[in-house]
Each structure stands twice: as C-alpha cells, then as structure tokens.
Amino acid sequence: MSAVTKPVSDAEFSISVLESKEPVLVDFWAEWCGPCRVIAPALEELGGEYAGKLSIAKVNIDENPMTPTKFGVRGIPTLILFKDGKAAATHVGAAPKSVLKAFIDKNL
C-alpha cells in the first residue's frame, strides 16, 4: 500500500471514512483474491489522479469482518463510495481502470 491508498480497520472505519470531509472510495478486498490484486494498481493511479477530491481506503475483509458485514459486502472486490457518511454508490467485481474512473466520475 502507498500513501495514496490507506488501509482502514473496523476500529478506524467510522473516523477515517464516515466522518471524512471528502468522499472516500472503500475497496473491500483480501490477500487471496486474484481480481482484488488486479484492480489494486488502477486504484493507486486513481487515488493520485483524484487527490484532494477523493480518498481511497482499503478494508481487508479477513482482518476486519465487521465493516463488510455492516455494509452488505457479499463478494470481492467490492467498491463503495461514501459521501457525507453514507454509502452513495457500489461497484462489485474487477474492472479496467476506465470503468472504475467512469464509476467514480458518475457518482462523485
């Protein structure tokens, strides 16, 4: 992980995501998930491109089971865009960077 994407735990989720002043795109992932690893570089790049407008957080579902359960995450990768403390949009599954960028632009 880099400074662009920030790992967030169940304990930190409320402060880091729900109380954030800017929108936060949360990537629910796991080490064993191939598609999660495939989209990770695109999320890093998008994190840099949207710096100051959007934060990207990563929640490892194996280490932090409470948060994905609370938000109904059933498959990974799942991306949830949070705005003003609420889940505003969800994208499930791996996708190319262009699709992820379009998802962000449509919902930001």
Cite the active site residues.
Answer: 33, 36
> What phi and psi values does residue 44 have, to the nearest 5 degrees?
-60, -50
78-83 and 5-7 as β-strands: parallel, antiparallel, unpaired?
unpaired
List b or e across 26-59, with b for residues whose CB sees 16 or more CB atoms inside 10 angstroms: bbbbeeebeebeebbebbbebbeebeeebbbbbb
Give bridge partners of residue 6 from the DSSP assignment.
57
Strand partners, 87: 82
